[in-house]
Amino acid sequence: MTRSRTRLVASAGAVGVFMGGLAGGTLAWSQAPAQGAAADVVPAADAANDPAGAAAPAAAVLAADTLAPPTPENVTGTADTTSVTLKWSPVEDTSLTGGGEPSGLSGYLIHRNWEFLAFVPAGTTTYTDNAAPGLYRYEVRAIDLSENISQPSPRIRFRVGDHDTTAPNAPTAVSATVAGDSATVTWTTSTDLPADTGIGISGYLIHENGEFRSFVPKNPALPRDGIEQMTFVQPLTAVGDVTLEVRAVDLDNNYSAPMKVVVRH
Ligand SMILES: [Ca+2]
C-alpha cells in the first residue's frame, strides 16, 4: 500500500508546509508553485498501478522516515515587560538506525502553557513571544519533514511584566522530630501568589531560633507549584527549646510568613 504525502513548497527561502497525509512506504510531494500562484499539489503515483514509477519524480521518493528528530537542547531565553525571547541550539534530523532515510528538519514547534503557540522554520533558532503580562512556560520541539516530532525540551518559565512582589502562601502542617543533633522537619508546600502570575516557588528557608540555617529548593520534579509534603533534616546548634521556622520564597525573593515549630534538643 502506498500512501501519498503532499507538501507545498513555497518560494525560495520559505519553508515547506505539510498538508497532511500518513507516513507510508513512499513519499512524494508537489512541485514548487510559482510565487503568488495557487499551490499545485500533485498526488503521489500509486505504485500498484505504475510499477515503473514513471509518474513519480525519482528524486522525490524516499524510504519512509519514521523517527523523530533529536530534542532541542540548550533552550534559554529572556523576558522583559512585554515579551519573552527564546533561543536554542539547532537540531539536525540525523539518520538513525531503523528509521529510514532522514527527511530533513522542517522546523520547531513552540508550546506555551501546554498549548501550541508557533512554528519556527528550520534555520531559525529564536522566537519572540509578545505576550501580555503573566507567567508562561515554554517547550520547544523539533519536527521533521515527515511530521515526526521530538520529545519536548525541558520546560522553562518566564514572567512577563513587572517583577513579582507578592509573597507565596506560607507552608502549612509544619512538624519536626529530633534525633540526636538533627531535627527532621516536615511541611506541606506552598503555592506562589498571585495565583495566575506569580513567578513560582523557589524553595524554603529554615531558621533556628531566628537565625537563617538552610535553603531547601522546591522539588524540581514537580512541574507546577502544588501541594506535597517536603522533609528536610536540619542540624541543630541550639540547645533546650529550639524554635524552627519554615518560610516559602519565590523566584523574585518574596518570602512568606514563617510557620513555627518548637522542638526540644
Ligand atoms: Ca510571588
Ligand 1 centroid–CA 81 distance in Å is: 16
Ligand 1 centroid–CA 159 distance in Å is: 11
pLDDT of residue 166: 95
- Compute the distance between CA of residue 225 and CA of residue 47 in angstroms, rounded to an integer: 54
Alpha helices in 168-257 (DSSP H): none
pLDDT tens-digit series, residues 96-121: 556 567 888 999 999 999 999 999 99
- Compute the distance between CA of residue 137 and CA of residue 18 in angstroms, rounded to an integer: 27
- Compute the distance between CA of residue 227 and CA of residue 190 in angstroms, rounded to an integer: 7
- The CATH fold of domain 76-160: Immunoglobulin-like (2.60.40)
Please answer whether residues 264 and 240 qualify as being in contact, where contact means their C-beta atoms are separated by less than 8 angstroms.
yes
Contacts of 160 (CB under 8 A, 6+ apart): 79, 80, 81, 82, 83, 84, 131, 132, 133, 134, 135, 136
Ligand 1 centroid–CA 138 distance in Å is: 19
Ligand 1 centroid–CA 151 distance in Å is: 30
Please answer whether residues 65 and 145 qualify as being in contact, where contact means their C-beta atoms are separated by less than 8 angstroms.
yes
The three cell numbers of residue 30 are 508537489
pLDDT tens-digit series, residues 121-177: 999 999 999 998 888 999 999 999 989 999 999 999 888 888 889 999 999 999 999
Ligand 1 centroid–CA 232 distance in Å is: 23
Q: Hey, do 76-160 and 172-264 end up sharing a CATH topology, with the first three levels equal? A: yes
- What pTM value is reported for the model? 0.53
Cα angle 155, 156, 157; round to 5 = 125
pLDDT of residue 20: 35
Measured in degrees and rounded to the nearest 5, phi and psi for residue 178 equal -105, 135
For every residue of 1-51, DSSP letters joined together read ------EE--STTS--EE------S----PPPPPTTSPP---PPP-TTT-T
Ligand 1 centroid–CA 76 distance in Å is: 22
Ligand 1 centroid–CA 165 distance in Å is: 6
DSSP state for residue 63 in the 8-state scheme: -
Ligand 1 centroid–CA 70 distance in Å is: 35
- Compute the distance between CA of residue 49 and CA of residue 29 in angstroms, rounded to an integer: 18
Percent of the chain with pLDDT over 90: 55
Q: Where are the beta strands (DSSP E) in 133-181?
A: 134-144, 156-160, 172-179
For the CA atoms of 6, 12, 13, 17, what is the dihedral angle to 10 degrees? -10
Which residues lie near ion ligand 1 (Cβ < 5 Å)? 164, 166, 192, 198, 250, 254
Higher pLDDT, 43 or 111: 111
- Compute the distance between CA of residue 264 and CA of residue 62 in angstroms, rounded to an integer: 74
pLDDT of residue 185: 97
Q: Where are the domains of the chain?
A: 1-61, 76-160, 172-264
Ligand 1 centroid–CA 181 distance in Å is: 34
Ligand 1 centroid–CA 34 distance in Å is: 53
Percent of the chain with pLDDT over 70: 71
Ligand 1 centroid–CA 199 distance in Å is: 6
Ligand 1 centroid–CA 170 distance in Å is: 11
CATH class assigned to 172-264 = mainly beta
- If one counts every other C-beta atom within 10 angstroms of the C-beta of residue 66, the result is 14
Ligand 1 centroid–CA 193 distance in Å is: 4
Ligand 1 centroid–CA 220 distance in Å is: 18
Ligand 1 centroid–CA 1 distance in Å is: 57
